[in-house]
Amino acid sequence: MRIFLCLLAMLFATPAAAEITVASKVFTENVILGEMARLAIAQGTDEPVRHRQELGGTRVVFDAAIAGEVDVYPAYTGTLRYQTLASERIESHGDLVAALASRGLRITEPIGFSNNYAIAMMPERAAELGVRTVSDLKDHPDLIWGVENEFLDRADGWRALKAAYGLPHGNVRGLLHDLGYRALASGETDLIDAYTTDPQIAQHDLVLLEDDLEHFPTYDAVYLYRDDLPSAAVSALEGLAGALDEAAMQEINGRAQFGGEDEGVLAAEVVSRVTGTAVEDDSAEAGLAARIWARTLEHLALVGIALGAAILIALPVGILAARLPRFGNLILGAVGILQTIPSLALFVILIPLLGIGFVPTIAALFVYSLLPIVRNVHSGLTNIPAALLDSADALGLSRRARLRRVELPLAAPTIMAGIKTAAVIAVGLATLGAIIGAGGYGQPILTGIRLASTPLILEGAIPAAALALVIQGLFDAAERWVTPRGLRLKQARS
Amino acid sequence: MVERLSAPSETRCECKLSRRFGRSLARLRVAQTPGIGFAPPVFSLNNVSVRYGETVALRPVSLDVRPGATLVLIGPSGSGKTTLLRVLAGLVAPEGEVRFDGEVVTDWRGVRRRLGYVVQDGGLFPHLTARENVALMSHELGRDRAETEARIEELADLTHLNRAQLDRYPAELSGGQKQRVGIVRALMLEPDVLLLDEPLSALDPIIRAELAKELKTIIETLGTTVVLVTHSLSEAQFFSDRLVLMRGGSVVQEGSYEEFERAPADPFVTQFIEAETLL
């Protein structure tokens, strides 16, 4: 209980709203642009500012900005027009600004480069086939495409491209963006969708086919910010206009992705150059032990609060379900259905309702903890031999006394086993919380996947596995402790 | 049945234990007072039947349970004898009228506390020691701890349980010991009626005979009204001369063993006696 209260105190001790929050999406270029925004605001204003790196995908950061949990994030005009606000069929830049304004959002002048879609081919292959433009592809119907999953469904994506050019190709595979380059290099695909600032383009000397029908829109990089952002911070962001052209961005992306250079240091370099004053990346990484410790606390807080709340709710619900068979079936069915919601979907569904970070993650973990506990409370209580309940009734025990003195002690080992299951599941699921900015062990795993860094992935995965084992051990001990001695004797004998 | 309480058992009633049971003793004395005749029944069933959905477990039965006497419900498996006992214990809601102490029962909880109920293996709670099992209800009612302890000691003496056994868990006790603990638990709150469901059936023959004798002594000592369920004719005969023979949810004949032999109400009665005496 005391631990629980400590965790609760920690939760509410996190700094309050006055801070400016910059967020970034889960890819390197966006993280660097986020760092640039953080450093520029820190240098140009007195406001405290933090950067929630790799907060989530476009949907997560956009919703978080509307909800006021995020003040600034690096966005692309094309993404806003054709993905985020696609249903509004925005015709011009002016319409986009108006559509954002109606949501309390604004965008800065372009940062100076656009990160467009382009169709890429290996140079040898392009030369061999004599392909130079997208239209040229019509003469080669056997070519294999490998495109990012998101590109398959976008308003300006595969289907639209195919229709616009009348492409004959039928062999299209969905891939992770970074894997597309590997597939291209190994000859498994002939064509991929590239982003024009991807460093792999220069690395492999790829040919970008000319978009001769001008199908792809422009994806100018801008900062999206809330209209209540202090004006000094807005000026700092506007000061970054024109800071980077495509070549510069591609080079910096390459240094981060292939050279292993720190995003903060790279961002500081750009901001120093643009503002003419030396800016240092002050977000020096804490040591490994301190990092793991901080994440352990975050992770424990997530699991502890969610599990505590689940126990408080699931115990009485389970008791009620055991008492009233019809209601019991209904309840077990309902929590069973909740359990089948895919966890990633639940995390994302909860954002509009609860925002990002701790609270929705706890809510999701709470939901998944309900079933094992309710089910075990129910089965623990309904499996008590009828003769014992008769004895209790014949003694004259009231329903409440029977529950407290006889039923709960007899069901205790089963109930504890349910809580243990819920706890172990929650420790594993909590790593997904990093996707919506809850921190914990999922954070280094997420970064590790982005940078293809196995050590970083292990920095999250090993403690997560260890914590699951520790929790399992603790609950095994607790299970023995709550099992009445008389029941242990019986188990030993039978 | 009052006459059965012979002089020696009355003398035994003068022990220190019996003073605590003034209530049941008083009733006994009333019952024994010449001229009054039959005291009013403790339980009185009027057309009581039990049905589980489509299945009829007990056909309409009318029956009196007289104070201070032992009534035995006997019959083969499925005859409805246990169902009838469960009706008396308030564990089954029957159709028809059940009177306790002359009044129609509406609130069973009040009645249950005046009953003691013992099932085949004692029905002890496995998570509690024998002592905790026995004291459970007294503690729940907030009775004085010291008095409760004293009562446990007395009843333990009466049932030949020693202190070490009282502090063991059911899993550590033999069948006979568990049954004794079950009896002590049923007697803790000085019940008006003791309901025993096959109390000896699960025991070895020697222990069974031993416990049967002790149980009879206890019943006579306390002068408690008893309803006992058994499938054994010899056991029934040993405990009482008022037997109720049941079959298929109905009462076939009520009376003593001798009456069953002399004037069977139904060929089944003779059949049952012959089967019992053969084996």
CB of B123 less than 8 A from some CB of A? yes
pLDDT value at residue A112: 92
**Pairing label, strands A191-195, A117-121:** antiparallel
Task: Please determine, for residue B20, whether its predicted confidence score (pLDDT) is greater than 80.
Answer: no
Instruction: For an interface test with A, give the residue of B92, B118, B120, B125 to mutate (most A CBs within 10 A).
Output: B125
Task: Please determine, for residue A378, whether its predicted confidence score (pLDDT) is greater than 50.
Answer: yes
For residue B86, the chain A residues in CB contact (below 8 A) are 390
Residue B51 lies in a domain: yes
pLDDT band at A223, cuts 50/70/90? very high
Task: Please determine, for residue A418, whether its predicted confidence score (pLDDT) is greater than 90.
Answer: yes
Residue B15 lies in a domain: no
Q: Of A29-38, A275-284, A430-439, B149-158, which range is least confident? A: A275-284
pLDDT value at residue A447: 79
pLDDT value at residue A284: 59
pLDDT value at residue B28: 41
Q: Choose among B149, B155, B117: nearest CA to B135.
A: B149
Q: Which residue has the higher pLDDT, B25 or B84?
A: B84
pLDDT value at residue B24: 43
Residue A213 lies in a domain: no
Closest-CA distance, A493 to chain B, in angstroms, reads: 8
* pLDDT digit string, tens, across residues B94-107: 998 999 988 888 88
Domain termination site, one of B149, B168, B190: B190
pLDDT value at residue A283: 64
Domain check: are A418 and A435 in the same one?
yes
Domain check: are A43 and A157 in the same one?
no
Residue A134 lies in a domain: yes
Reading the block at residue B204, the tokens are 């070895």
Mean pLDDT of chain A: 87
Domain termination site, one of A228, A252, A275: A275
Residue with tokens 């008396």: B88
* pLDDT digit string, tens, across residues B41-83: 889 999 899 988 888 889 999 999 999 899 999 988 888 999 9
Q: Of A3-12, A118-127, B3-12, B162-171, which range is least confident? A: B3-12
The ipTM is 0.79
pLDDT value at residue A106: 95
pLDDT band at B245, cuts 50/70/90? very high
Q: What is the mean pLDDT of residues B110-120?
A: 87
Residue B5 lies in a domain: no
**Chain B: residue nearest A400 by CA?**
B140
pLDDT value at residue A381: 95
Q: Of A155-159, B181-185, B195-199, B239-243, which range is least confident? A: A155-159
pLDDT value at residue B31: 40
Task: Please determine, for residue A102, whether its predicted confidence score (pLDDT) is greater than 50.
Answer: yes
* pLDDT digit string, tens, across residues A281-312: 766 566 788 888 888 999 999 999 999 999 99
Question: Domain residues for A126?
Answer: 117-208
Report the domain count for chain B.
2
Task: Please determine, for residue A72, whether its predicted confidence score (pLDDT) is greater than 70.
Answer: yes
Task: Please determine, for residue A406, whether its predicted confidence score (pLDDT) is greater than 80.
Answer: yes
pLDDT value at residue A313: 95
CB of B90 less than 8 A from some CB of A? yes
Domain check: are B85 and B98 in the same one?
yes
Q: Do A484 and B117 touch (CB under 8 A)?
A: no
Closest-CA distance, B266 to chain A, in angstroms, reads: 34
CATH number for position B55: 3.40.50.300
Task: Please determine, for residue A276, whether its predicted confidence score (pLDDT) is greater than 60.
Answer: yes
At CA A407, angle to CA A405 and CA A413, rounded to 5?
110
Q: Choose among A267, A254, A131: nearest CA to A195.
A: A254
pLDDT value at residue A214: 87
pLDDT value at residue A286: 66
pLDDT value at residue A491: 54
Mean pLDDT of chain B: 83
On whether the CB atoms of residues A121 and A190 are closer than 8 A, the answer is: yes
Residue B150 lies in a domain: yes
Residue B7 lies in a domain: no
* pLDDT digit string, tens, across residues B152-195: 999 999 888 988 999 999 999 988 899 999 999 999 988 999 99
CB of B112 less than 8 A from some CB of A? yes
Residues with Cβ < 8 Å from A444, sequence gap 6 or more? A291, A295, A456, A457, A459, A460
Question: Domain residues for B165?
Answer: 130-190
Q: Do B136 and A395 touch (CB under 8 A)?
A: yes
For every residue of B47-90, DSSP letters joined together read EEEEEETTEEEEEEEEEEE-TT-EEEEE-STTSSHHHHHHHHTT
User: Among B115, B127, B172, whose Cβ lies nearest the Cβ of A487?
Assistant: B127
Q: What is the mean pLDDT of residues A462-485?
A: 90
Domain check: are B106 and B204 in the same one?
yes
Domain check: are A374 and A458 in the same one?
yes
Q: Of A50-64, A310-324, B180-194, which range is least confident? A: A50-64
Domain check: are A190 and A303 in the same one?
no
- The H or E element that residue B100 is part of is strand B95-100
Reading the block at residue B136, the tokens are 């459970």
Report the domain count for chain A.
3
Task: Please determine, for residue B11, whether its predicted confidence score (pLDDT) is greater than 70.
Answer: no
Q: Which residue has the higher pLDDT, B22 or A425?
A: A425
pLDDT value at residue B279: 63
Residue with tokens 């969610």: A306
